[in-house]
Structure 1
């Protein structure tokens, strides 16, 4: 019989020692181990409007409980399989009291930040994972220039403003794809 972890080997040694001293006085001993995280929470990147899942894997949970919290607001999101927050986009799934998945539906830019998986041991055990939210680029109507007609050789000022996360890079090109020479010597940026 193989005994893979330290607690089981200790129990076997105790059993053999007790049996050798007094076979009739043998009693079973239960060893309680503290829960532990088996791996770090992976950081997740999701686009606005999509769903995201942060996963926390805990071994030897026993009677302890797992909770998910939003770190920056110190909001308790879930405890065990119960959703505490009133945010209907938050959900929790778990398998075999081992893998706890915080699910956030319809991701918003405001969901970006750190999330904590916490075990209610004394002292408390926790680990964190980061949710990054990407926002597709969007060209702003103002102060972006509208169509212009100018004489060849004349100066013209063109403006383009865009938002997104990460911030978009703006590159200027002619319709044929050729670079535009700018006054400060840069090429189309």
Structure 2
């Protein structure tokens, strides 16, 4: 065998012998214990089951209260009529829906999801409410996405779109 063939055989045996955990760096550290949820999220562990509305006319049956976690059953995207077209509506195989959020006091509110779905918030005048912060949930928890809004008292429509699953957990809480 020539020198090049020997070099390739040695390299191949090193690659095959390298344990998988050394071959690819882990992007997320392994969890050895459950993570800690932020203050005000204790209810995340015991969500109530509700069904998302598919149209604005059905919102009275899809109420979401600040501080209450809900396990939501979503509809397939083609069956949902959003008051405002979501920035990321999702395709025909995704899921989404509408939830009514009633806010009693002015303040900052956080919407938490257990999936990387898209969140839009619509005010009473059918105008989009701009968020002021986005982030991931705490490490080693089931919270995957958090979006913060400055809200006035009133009734809002929470639009969730582009969800990969027909079910998802949602919670809105007031934050300091």
Between structure 1 and structure 2, the one with the greater Rg is 1
Q: TM-score scaled by structure 2?
A: 0.23
Q: TM-score scaled by structure 1?
A: 0.21
More helix by share: 2
